[in-house]
Structure 1
């Protein structure tokens, strides 16, 4: 069978159009379609073919196509698939590159097996620029179908030291599942950087330019990442023709899309704690109601300041802030990876964690030096139960946790909210607590609900009413 070299992009928003241009730049034949006629008219200058109706795909049913769906995560994807699959050559492959829920991806694969069509669910990260210049791609589905179009993914994807970051990560649903977890980690890392920014700014010891410079210097350390790099640029950006910083003009109300909530809901359903990641999402919820925050601020007269006299010097605040950011980085990835491991087991996704980490090395929002360290860890210890059990990670946490705690405690005493930081510390403390207070919780449950409990000295299930 000849290699597939014709790509169809359905959905020509920013991501879809940039992906089409990326393929075009790599000398593939590209056919575009969007339900919006305005978008179709706008792409005529981009030199790739376009169709005005999905039924026009019937003219290409004599060749195998790679059909990328770059559509919203709703029923429009199902409707589009139902329309196009009778029109395609049997060896064509449908690639869902939108932010679909991984369970929808699994459902679609099961449906396609019955009708002998081929479907891959692909998580794409890197934003608009990544789609154009080389995104990270997390591919799930039948590996035989993946191999048919592997050359397409590798041609347009990002790479790291010569290795493609477009990776086959597991079975049906794995691509979108891993991308969902990626987004949860992304939320936590973004909030962690924002919390450190808040600490430095409210100390009133640093200008925005100085904070940006600090973030730049940290790029020479284990903290180097895409998010830290863009944060430095954002913080130092000024309005045109004046000295006003752009960041100071942006409302402090962070929005979100559905994937963040998907991660939290999945974790709750699976019974896996990702309290730091959840806190990042909740921080966005809290930020969004500025009206209520303004009212409560007036009632309680919150000053929101971390005076520098809490520290021996500015350098101490800088050191502690850097250590707190590293602590949050480790805990965010630890929680995300733990959720990947559980989901892979519960849904038989056969996720290849080292392949996931390879995909995350470049081109995605959460790429950074730490991902390379994680790749080394899981290459050497593929059966590692939890990241916090790894020796080099444990040694690093031992060096940074004390000052991280001090900084969070000072922030809390000075009314500065650090949702991710404080939740990560509690998560870490609970996991290393040998004797927790959960025995009282279970006894309470049994007292009012007869739920029973286990004893430390006997096997079996017991009830409090047998003790009175």
Structure 2
């Protein structure tokens, strides 16, 4: 009898199966198409403690109890379909784990539905891509706590290993795991956009070639501030030459970034909870704008584009400092969203543990997560990372460079939307008074929405002016 089951043999599923087996656990696998199963067994799993099955019934029969089945399939309807196939085959205390990028509300629904059947359900975000799945991902499980304890011995060996522990922990009930993974992806959107803007500033604003870009990003990756997986792969990308054209491959790729929805979900949830995430939101908008390729080409023929090159000194270091500040804001926004969601949905998230399990395996793993882990460990009730002395001092010492980089970009007509949004986030957060008193006055003027005063308690409404009867009758009054 196999100790673990896995459904879905795309690359992530295959690599996780190999990872689990390598850690000493026998695995039974099933894929909807038998040809894929046969190919995996013959080409990658030959001689390993992995058994092929060819139906959900056969998979369930091959597993020891309580059965532990990981789904690595496309999110949405396919997950529901497979769960429906498994439900009549499973028994009390068996465990289904959804390891895909499922929408957290779907995970919450599935958790409630399966609770009535006595089958345990875990929604688990998995980050790290193909290599992470094979060598050790970051895993973010939520759902039934007792079920997690059953699979914990397996997950802790399969996960990425960092200096203090494996990159997996129980996060909370219901859909907590998939919610954390969603926010992880939102932060990922933000950081990727910020890196793209830094690349544009150096390439377009300074005229750097790809060898110079490789050297700069490689150097940045050696610093405590910017050392990260995304910085590492960016440096590698600039070195890759397209064998067909002999040009840097990155310059042969269409400038239209795609997305699978997790960034959108993050922004929508943030808006629902009333949490500002402008860096993440702008990163999503930037991908949407990039998709308007034909319109942008036409517009470029009508409007002037980039206006020259920057001639000032020390600009590379200033871009590095601006990038660090903006990335810190992206993490701060994500952590603030997790804190708000945890309170609203009773996830009881430990943000220090979230930072810890992101230190290895996942796409946003970075040196900056180490101080975050320590900060939330010392101050679990901290409302925003920007208030921690570590980040306060680091950002204030770089704010002048941050502002100058955005000013130069504006002068050169180089768009830096996420970097600008992050600075606005920081500048807004540190203001004790914002101009939205005028906004609220306008709302009260045209809609009688009322307002609060700064000098006395209560709710107020003012008749700002008298609208004449004629305008009301003709419909010209707003």
Contact 2:68 2:96 in 1 (8 A): yes
What is the distance in 2 between the residues matched to 1:343 and 1:251? 36
Which of the residues 1, 10, 15 maps onto 1:13?
10
**Partner of 2:104 in structure 1?**
102
**Partner of 1:354 in structure 2?**
352
What is the distance in 1 between the residues matched to 2:308 and 2:171? 44
Q: How far apart are residue 242 of structure 1 and its match? A: 7.2
Which of the residues 30, 37, 41 maps onto 2:38?
41
Contact 1:276 1:423 in 2 (8 A): yes
**Partner of 2:116 in structure 1?**
114
* 1:431-442 equivalence runs, <5 A: 431-442=429-440
What is the distance in 1 between the residues matched to 2:62 and 2:213? 55
1:276 aligns with 2:279: yes
Higher alpha-carbon deviation: 90-99 or 38-47: 38-47
Once the two structures are superposed, residues 123-144 of structure 1 have per-residue CA deviations (whole angstroms, 9 ceiling, x without a partner) of 1000011101100001111222
**Partner of 1:234 in structure 2?**
237
* 1:371-382 equivalence runs, <5 A: 371-382=369-380
What is the distance in 1 between the residues matched to 2:325 and 2:39? 47
- Runs (5+) with no aligned partner, structure 1: none
**Partner of 2:289 in structure 1?**
286
What is the distance in 2 between the residues matched to 1:397 and 1:418? 18
What is the distance in 2 between the residues matched to 1:27 and 1:362? 21
CA, structure 1 residues 185+62, in 2 after alignment: closer, same or farther (shift >3 Å)?
A: closer
Which of the residues 249, 253, 256 maps onto 2:252?
249
**Partner of 1:184 in structure 2?**
186
CA, structure 1 residues 442+241, in 2 after alignment: closer, same or farther (shift >3 Å)?
A: closer
What is the distance in 2 between the residues matched to 1:299 and 1:189? 31
**Partner of 2:470 in structure 1?**
none
Once the two structures are superposed, residues 95-123 of structure 1 have per-residue CA deviations (whole angstroms, 9 ceiling, x without a partner) of 11011111221222222222211111101
1:25 aligns with 2:22: yes
Contact 1:11 1:71 in 2 (8 A): yes
Alignment TM-score, normalising by the size of structure 2: 0.93
Which of the residues 50, 53, 56 maps onto 1:54?
56
Contact 1:97 1:124 in 2 (8 A): yes
Q: How far apart are residue 200 of structure 1 and its match? A: 0.5
Once the two structures are superposed, residues 350-393 of structure 1 have per-residue CA deviations (whole angstroms, 9 ceiling, x without a partner) of 11111111110100000010011100111111111111111111
Which of the residues 260, 264, 276 maps onto 1:261?
264
Once the two structures are superposed, residues 173-224 of structure 1 have per-residue CA deviations (whole angstroms, 9 ceiling, x without a partner) of 1110000000000001011111101000013442211111111111221210
Q: How far apart are residue 166 of structure 1 and its match? A: 1.5
Which of the residues 413, 417, 420 maps onto 1:419?
417
Contact 1:98 1:122 in 2 (8 A): yes
What is the distance in 2 between the residues matched to 1:356 and 1:369? 14
What is the distance in 2 between the residues matched to 1:58 and 1:454? 61
Alignment TM-score, normalising by the size of structure 1: 0.95
Which of the residues 57, 64, 67 maps onto 2:66?
64
CA, structure 1 residues 201+305, in 2 after alignment: closer, same or farther (shift >3 Å)?
A: farther
**Partner of 1:214 in structure 2?**
216
What is the distance in 2 between the residues matched to 1:242 and 1:327? 37
Q: How far apart are residue 17 of structure 1 and its match? A: 1.1
Higher alpha-carbon deviation: 364-373 or 239-248: 239-248
Q: How far apart are residue 90 of structure 1 and its match? A: 2.4
Once the two structures are superposed, residues 297-333 of structure 1 have per-residue CA deviations (whole angstroms, 9 ceiling, x without a partner) of 111021x255132x1x2xx111101101101111000
Contact 2:185 2:262 in 1 (8 A): yes
What is the distance in 2 between the residues matched to 1:448 and 1:129? 57
Q: How far apart are residue 5 of structure 1 and its match? A: 6.1
Aligned length: 460
Contact 1:192 1:325 in 2 (8 A): yes
Higher alpha-carbon deviation: 112-121 or 178-187: 112-121
Q: Secondary structure at the match of 1:465?
A: coil
